[in-house]
Amino acid sequence: MNIPMVDLRGQYQSLKEEIRRQLDSVLEGSQFVLGPQGEALEQEIAAYCGVRHAIGVASGTDALHLALRAAGIGPGDEVITTPFTFIATAEAIAYVGAKAVFVDIDPQTFNICVDAVAAAVGPRTRAVLPVHLFGQPADLAPLKQICDRHGLRLIEDCAQSFGAVYQGRMTGAWGDAGCFSFFPSKNLGCYGDGGMIVTNDDHLAAEIRMLRNHGSRERYYHAAIGYNSRLDDMQAAILRVKLKHIDDYNRARRRNAALYSELLQAAPVLTPVEDGKGCHVFHQYTLRAPRRADLQKTLSAAGIASAIYYPVPLHRQEVFAADCAGLSLPVAEQAAAEVLSLPMYPELTAEQIRLVCRTIADAAAR
Ligand SMILES: *Cc1c(COP(=O)(O)O)cnc(C)c1O
């Protein structure tokens, strides 16, 4: 039995008829960009997240970029963020000409450390950009307090946290803007690239709508140098089908995670810790494995996929070497050396999870 990290084909089989029907209606209607499907999806996601506005864009990376630009962040500004994330988080900061200030993470949740954020606020700080890593909400209440106290923007990277709730409110709805990715492997994924920004700020929403469409508020009148960054109607139609199932999908992920953690109790690995402040949607199920290379080899020999998210923290990446010379963030560095993510998707069966856990126990016994 081969067990992949994600099984998009399996999910498609169960949604096939409805997706084909929806795609057919887009093809027949032939409004492919900024059409009715995109608009309907924006309304549905705004309602789902409990916010006033949702704006579709071309990717999660663009969502972050446009949110930062619309918030007026630019050259000379600093944005405090985590080094333990995908590169796009920091790329977006660089795109607007600002500087990413990396601070260390919490060893339990892998999310940005609130005390480290508070200590890093300086005269040039304009925003804090937490990531809800692996689907677990960052500690938003104290982060928001810090932002309010210092007049900073809070921009959430929700690429891995669609449907995750923190203290009764959706991730994405806490900050000035929440930025989602619909990359195929995300909890809510389309069949190409896509993203969305949610916000309660009318001004920010209008700016983002203008920027995503060539700086245009009115056709052929251009107020700013913008971008071609729209979510197309084919992807929106697919996402509308999947959105109806997202709570079931996230529940299945949580159930799978609970079974993993139960079966791995005696294994020489540390299972994920939920901090109890929100609902973790397990975009990834990520262990700490002190003998990671051996474990990964054993899993691979048994046909079981595993992955390292992320092997190099951003302050140690070549691209940030000059900016971060001498910067030491030991918690993030240790996490990068120890983490291992196991197969995780809603359709994963109990039998598959048992096989993965047995293989890990056997590896330890040897
Ligand atoms: C996937 C991801 C992004 C980027 O999303 P794209 O849609 O691939 O551009 C940004 N941040 C994090 C944490 C991600 O996991």
Q: Per-domain residue ranges for the chain?
A: 8-243, 246-365
Q: 149 with 32: CB under 8 angstroms?
A: no
Residues 6+ apart with CB under 8 A from 152: 121, 125, 126, 127, 128, 146
Closest ligand 1 atom to 182 CA? 7
Which CATH number is 246-365 given? 3.90.1150.10
**Mutation pick for ligand 1 pocket among 183, 231, 286 (CB with most ligand atoms within 8 Å):** 183
Residues 6+ apart with CB under 8 A from 365: none
Distance from residue 191's CA to the centre of ligand 1 (Å): 15
Closest ligand 1 atom to 160 CA? 15
> What pLDDT is stored for residue 365 in this prediction?
79
> What pLDDT is stored for residue 357 in this prediction?
98
Distance from residue 61's CA to the centre of ligand 1 (Å): 6
Would you write out the chain's pLDDT as a tens digit for each of its 366 residues?
799 999 999 999 999 999 999 999 999 999 999 999 999 999 999 999 999 999 999 999 999 999 999 999 999 999 999 999 999 999 999 999 999 999 999 999 999 999 999 999 999 999 999 999 999 999 999 999 999 999 999 999 999 999 999 999 999 999 999 999 999 999 999 999 999 999 999 999 999 999 999 999 999 999 999 999 999 999 999 999 999 999 999 999 999 999 999 999 999 999 999 999 999 999 999 999 989 999 999 999 999 999 999 999 999 999 999 999 999 999 999 999 999 999 999 999 999 999 999 999 988 877
Distance from residue 196's CA to the centre of ligand 1 (Å): 11
| Minimal-distance CA residue to ligand 1 atom 5 | 60
**Mutation pick for ligand 1 pocket among 5, 82, 86, 232 (CB with most ligand atoms within 8 Å):** 86
> What pLDDT is stored for residue 295 in this prediction?
95
Closest ligand 1 atom to 283 CA? 15
Instruction: Tell me which architecture the domain covering 8-243 has in CATH.
Output: 3-Layer(aba) Sandwich (3.40)
**Mutation pick for ligand 1 pocket among 93, 157, 162 (CB with most ligand atoms within 8 Å):** 157
| Phi, psi at 56, each rounded to 5° | -75, 140
Distance from residue 200's CA to the centre of ligand 1 (Å): 22
- Name the amino acid, one letter, at 112: I
Distance from residue 29's CA to the centre of ligand 1 (Å): 31
With 0-12 / 13-18 / 19 or more C-beta atoms within 10 angstroms meaning exposed / middle / buried, residue 350 is exposed
Distance from residue 88's CA to the centre of ligand 1 (Å): 6
Residues with CB under 6 A from ligand 1: 59-61, 85-86, 88-89, 131, 157, 159-160, 181, 183, 193, 195
Name residue, tokens 């803007």. Answer: 177
Closest ligand 1 atom to 85 CA? 13
Taking the model in full, what pTM does it have?
0.98
Distance from residue 314's CA to the centre of ligand 1 (Å): 14
**Mutation pick for ligand 1 pocket among 6, 57, 61 (CB with most ligand atoms within 8 Å):** 61
Distance from residue 95's CA to the centre of ligand 1 (Å): 15
Distance from residue 57's CA to the centre of ligand 1 (Å): 13
List the one residue out of 158, 157, 153 whose CA is nearest residue 127: 153
What are the CA-CA distances from residue 144 to residues 109, 131, 180 (Å)? Answer: 18, 14, 19
> What pLDDT is stored for residue 246 in this prediction?
98
| Minimal-distance CA residue to ligand 1 atom 6 | 60
| Minimal-distance CA residue to ligand 1 atom 2 | 159
> What pLDDT is stored for residue 366 in this prediction?
76
> What pLDDT is stored for residue 276 in this prediction?
93
What are the CA-CA distances from residue 307 to residues 41, 52, 70, 80, 261 (Å)? Answer: 32, 37, 35, 27, 18
Distance from residue 179's CA to the centre of ligand 1 (Å): 9
